Chains A and B, each alone.
Chain A
Amino acid sequence: MTIKEIQDEIVEEFSLFENWMERYEYMIELGKSIELISPSNKTDSNLIKGCQSKLWLHAEILEGKILYTTDSEAIITKGIAAILLRAFSNQTPLDIINSDVKYIDEIGLKEHLSPTRANGLVSMIRQVKYYALAFSKQE
């Protein structure tokens, strides 16, 4: 699936919910079920800056596609990270560079992606793109 298709799928899933509480419960579920970063990659250099809770991001390239893994101490942060990586992980560097995160607004979680919110998610998106840029130069 393309990034856009996955994003549309997520938007559709979230459209079933009637209120914020259901959306949050689903997001928390996604956070719990995400494939976590391996403990050996939970290093300081993989730590995203500017968070109240620790957030890690690791990236590696496999057959031309970037695989991202993440973890966070806060489950809400982890849930949103899961929603982001579901779209961006296992995609080509170029597709990642050319994509956006507007779907986060559409599923009603926009407030968590404010640059002034100290959860590190905005920095994480930037880091996802930097990795894509770096890997695209390697090819």
Chain B
Amino acid sequence: MGFDINKIREDFPILSRKVNGYPFVYLDNAATSQKPKIVIDSIVDYYSNYNSNIHRGVHSVSQEATDGYESARQTIQTHFNAKYSHEIIFTSGTTHSINLVANGFESLLNSGDEIIISGLEHHSNIVPWQMMCEKNGAIIKVIPMKENGELNLPVFEELLCEKTKLVFVNHISNALGIINPIKKIIKKAHEFGAVVLIDGAQASSHFKTDLQDLDADFYTTSAHKLCGPTGVGMLYGKEKWLKKMPPYQGGGEMISTVTFKKTTYADLPHKFEAGTPNIAGVIGFGEAVNYLNKIGFDNIKNHESSLLDYATKKLKTIPNIKIYGDSLNKTSVISFNVGEIHAYDIGSILDKFGIAVRTGQHCAQPIMDYYNISGTVRVSFSFYNTIEEIDHLYKSLLQAISMLS
């Protein structure tokens, strides 16, 4: 299928609106993606035509809803090439997924066991492990980052030892957009028998991940990062680990039999999906994955990398600009500062020109501390952005700099 940017933009209702009198230029895609009409329609269709609770009902509409929900699970299984559909657990998003694993491993780890976390993590990846370690006495070790934003792998290899039980790394750093060499990290960790969880929240919108090939033990993402709705995400776990982990939350749906003496838990995936799930969200998630596959991940990658090249070249001509994480191995994210100008000021002026960017620490304070800065301006591109939008960004940025200097 060819890649017609104008046709693609028509799929997204929000892209035709104006902000502060200017055409809306959305460059905050690493925070959340925009939603195509087909995804929005799938949610409206569910509530309009087959809203019912799933799994337990014997009536026709409940069956339709269950089919919609379970077929989304299969879509996502196929997309990520998981071995079984019951290895895909629906959660409220990446943060929930990570908490679920941290909670599961609380009783599987002992005092003195070690877990290794990368220095590029989002806050959501750090806090649950600190909470877990407070309870079971495990110890957190950190893989430091290098000046170009990449992880320091020789140090990682030194940290690995027999005591290492878990390794947590994001596929792509949210603040800088650097793609981490996770396949290598997984292989090394497995040599020591450690379990690996990869946070794929920033990766799933940019490329397809083959989970069996990758051999990750756990992998997580959020639907809203890949054109799906907010409040829904997935946790992939290898069957053997999902079976070993105790359930996270008690409730309906996750039980097999209940007496006041003992409850036996349902099989996977229901063991981890207590209560009525986000049915509409899961259906929208499946639709979003189908939509992206229809656009084609090769097309997405090509377009995004030409946007990144164009924008990087253009921004680099601006005097006193500093781009953080200047690695070649990155997705379409540019995190920068200009001279002494505060990121908040640049973001505020760009907003007046209708341009949405992110400013601040991007929930990754350790990275900001590393560079000794209080924050950055982050522009992040998606396949529906255009060269013209980057030109508008460039011109508006020059204007902002002249106003603020």
Chain A residues in the interface with B (C-beta under 8 A): 20-21, 24-25, 28, 52-54, 73-77, 112, 118-119
Contact = CB atoms under 8 A, between A and B. Distances in A.
Interface stretch (B91-99, B251-259, B328-336, B342-350): B342-350
14 contacts: A21-B352, A21-B403, A24-B352, A25-B403, A52-B360, A52-B361, A53-B375, A73-B342, A74-B344, A75-B341, A76-B344, A76-B345, A118-B360, A119-B344
Given A24-B352, A75-B342, A76-B344, A52 B359 contact: yes
Contact of A52 (B20, B344, B349, B399): B344
Contacts of A76: 344-345, 348-349
> Of residues B345, B361, B399, B404, which shows the largest number of chain A Cβ atoms within 10 Å of its Cβ?
B345
Interface in B352-367: 352, 359-361
B302 interface: no
Given A20-B20, A24-B403, A75-B341, 17 more contacts: A20-B352, A25-B403, A52-B344, A52-B361, A52-B374, A53-B342, A53-B343, A73-B342, A73-B374, A74-B348, A75-B345, A75-B404, A76-B344, A77-B344, A77-B345, A112-B348, A119-B344
B31 to A, nearest CB: 14
Contacts of B399: 21
Contact of B345 (A20, A25, A74, A118): A74
A75 B348 CA distance: 11
Interface in B16-41: 20
A24 B349 contact: yes
B357 to A, nearest CB: 13
Contacts of A52: 343-344, 359-361, 374-375
B349 A53 contact: no
A112 to B, nearest CB: 8
Contacts of B375: 52-53
Nearest to B360: A52
Nearest to B343: A52
A74 to B, nearest CB: 4
Range, interface on chain B? 10 to 19
A17 B243 CA distance: 67
Closest 7 CB pairs of A and B: A74-B342, A74-B344, A52-B360, A53-B344, A52-B344, A76-B345, A74-B345
A77 B374 CA distance: 15
A54 B375 CA distance: 11
Interface string B364-405: 000000000011000000000000000000000001000110
A74 B341 CA distance: 8
B146 to A, nearest CB: 26
Contacts of B342: 53, 73-75
A7 B99 CA distance: 51
Nearest to B344: A74
A28 B374 contact: no
Contacts of A118: 360
> Of residues A74, A77, A112, which shows the largest number of chain B Cβ atoms within 10 Å of its Cβ?
A74
A28 B344 CA distance: 13
B360 to A, nearest CB: 5
Contact of A54 (B345, B348, B360, B374): B374
Nearest to A20: B352
> Of residues A20, A25, A28, A76, which shows the largest number of chain B Cβ atoms within 10 Å of its Cβ?
A76
> Of residues A21, A28, A53, A77, which shows the largest number of chain B Cβ atoms within 10 Å of its Cβ?
A53
A28 B399 CA distance: 14
A44 to B, nearest CB: 15
Contacts of A77: 344-345
Nearest to A51: B344
A54 B341 CA distance: 13
A127 to B, nearest CB: 19
A129 B341 CA distance: 30
> Of residues B344, B352, B403, B404, which shows the largest number of chain A Cβ atoms within 10 Å of its Cβ?
B344
Nearest to A75: B345
Nearest to B361: A52
A53 B352 contact: no
Nearest to A77: B344
A112 B359 CA distance: 15
Contacts of B403: 21, 24-25, 28
A74 B345 CA distance: 6
